[in-house]
Amino acid sequence: MKLTSFYKIRRDLNKWSIILLTIVLFVSIPIISIAINAFNGPGESWNHIVKNVLPNYLENSFWLVLGTSILTLFFGISSAWIVSIYIIPFQKQLQWLLILPLAIPSYITAYAYAGFFDYGGFIEKALHIKVDVMNIYGLIFVLSSSLYPYVYVASRAFFVNQSNNIIEASKILGANERKTFFKLILPLARPAFIGGLVLVLMEVLNDYGAAKYYGINTFTTGIFRAWFSLEEPETAIFLSVILLFGILLFILIEKYQRKKVSYYNSVKNHSKVKKITTSKKRKYFLFFIVLLPFILGFIIPLIQLLYWAYLTYKDVFTKTFFTIALQSLGISVISAICTVLFALIFIYASKWNRLSFLKSFEKIGILGYAIPGAVIAIGILIPSLFLDNSLIIFFRNMFDIKIGFIINGTILILIYAFVIRYLAVAYSPIEASSLKLGKALAEASNLLGKRKIYTFFKIEFPALKPAILSGCILVFVDVMKELPLTLILKPYHINTLAVNAYEYASDELIAEAALPSLFIIVTGVLPIIFLNKLISKS
């Protein structure tokens, strides 16, 4: 007799199914919260926003996305192709130096360029001209210089592993280098560089510090303004929903377009790409093209920040700064450990769960990285405020005790938000490594009568240590740099270096923002080098 669906679920349901569902619900709370509250309608200022402000948000966000896409693709793909295919001076060093701009948050790069081009800055002193970068074009340039490594890393990984047979076949058919690249290699590399570009666009839409400082109205600055200035959570939620739909639409369009094309690389006839030797003049021209994005994205901002730090370190390097640095490190370390633990439980709960339909729930838990930090923060604030208010009323009515907020405004809620936001960052390397292990070792251990947990700690965990360390470091760096989410959710008595730098810049003490900014950069350089080693090994 065939079992009904209900009895199948009852038969296959185990504790790992329940754990998986619990984690999915745990990380889905912000999205569920925003979706439910969106039905309440916008605030009183919505009509005014739609008529006067929303078109500006849409226009600015569109041009930011378009402009940054063009520049990051140019910087990322050109530099990746040159270091992968041509022999140029300092090639090995440039391969990892090009990733270093990721160590500088985009809002810090924005502060540095504002000073570099401003009155009294290097350009004004050296060339006696003043260049205004505090506009949307300057913001596009800053974001592109800071974020192009996402495209570079993804493109380089593809170009390095591309078969030389394809290039040779193209030459036999009479195509020159230029035609081979644009007609053959670039279309084949599309999944790689588009994957990097999606990450760039997520960061662009998440940006608050750079856009706010440059005076550009975007959806993220609009969400902050609606929540804090207008004091209309409903309006902030509506803006968040529009932003979420825009991100979702972009991802769906790209996935649909990719389905219509097949990408295939023969493993059987694979041969390593041969490096091309060119004339001395062309070699140095290519070297300059590769060096340019590194200078723009890392060297210039770093020099400007070092100069400011030299001028202001006596005023900034105080006991308070030391306390803020320790708080930032502590929050980042705890958040990284918690996120990696959740990622491990998530991955293995999905593996050990026997309900097949729950497998599709796995990807829901890692959507946080595609959602801007400000949106996640609002999605957490709404239920946490409701719960706190309910507890206040309960204690007052039942025990006649007056209490303050228990959940909201605590370090726990901030770490919870970081776990949701960066779960995908920890999940990806650990899942990739767990898939490489295969099922044979675990199945052999189970046949010998060992439990799943025992097998994991004795066999799988030691093999996953490099991936776990990688995920931990990457989350640590992202938490150190995070600004919008931290600004909204951080407790009043706790500060971070990112917020500290933002506060200095907002108070027009831009030079004083250099020291906390440099500390963030220093904590980001080490994992960037580690990331390069992982790519080289792969």
Residue 274 CB neighbours (<10 A):
10
More confident residue, 103 or 128: 103
Helix (H) or strand (E) holding 395: helix 373-399
Q: What does R_g of the chain's alpha carbons equal in angstroms?
A: 25
Examine the pLDDT at 1 and tell me if it is beyond 50.
Answer: no
Question: In this structure, what DSSP letter does residue 120 have?
Answer: T
pTM of the model: 0.81
More confident residue, 160 or 255: 160
Please provide the distance, in angstroms rounded to a whole number, between the alpha carbons at the two ends of the chain: 50
Q: What is the mean pLDDT of the chain?
A: 80
Q: What is the pLDDT of residues 288-322, one digit of tens each?
A: 999 999 999 999 999 999 999 998 888 888 889 89
Residues whose CB is less than 8 angstroms from the CB of residue 205 and which lie 6 or more positions away in sequence, other chains included: 61, 65, 218, 219, 220, 243, 246, 247, 372
Q: How confident is the model at residue 73 (pLDDT cuts 50, 70, 90)?
A: very high
Q: What is the mean pLDDT of residues 397-418?
A: 81
Q: Nearest Cα to 408, choosing from 490, 495, 493, 497?
A: 490
Q: How confident is the model at residue 40 (pLDDT cuts 50, 70, 90)?
A: confident
Q: What is the pLDDT of residues 456-511, one digit of tens each?
A: 777 777 777 777 887 888 888 889 888 888 888 888 888 899 999 988 888 888 88
DSSP letters for 483-517: -HHHHHHS-TT---HHHHHHHHHHTT-TGGGHHHH
Q: What is the pLDDT of residues 351-389, one digit of tens each?
A: 776 666 666 666 666 677 777 788 888 888 888 888 878
Q: What residue segments make up the domains of the chain, in order of their start?
A: 14-40+335-492, 44-264+279-311
44-264+279-311: what fold?
A: MetI-like fold (1.10.3720)
415 near 338, Cβ under 8 Å?
A: yes
Phi-psi map region of 104: left, alpha, beta (phi>0 left; psi -120 to 50 alpha): beta
**In CATH terms, are 14-40+335-492 and 44-264+279-311 the same topology?**
yes
Q: What is the pLDDT of residues 108-135, one digit of tens each?
A: 999 999 888 877 777 777 776 777 888 9
Considering the segment(s) 14-40+335-492 as one domain, its CATH architecture is Orthogonal Bundle (1.10)
Query: Whole-angstrom Cα distance, residue 114 to residue 213?
Result: 9
More confident residue, 306 or 429: 306
| Predicted pLDDT at 314 | 87
Q: What is the mean pLDDT of residues 178-190?
A: 71
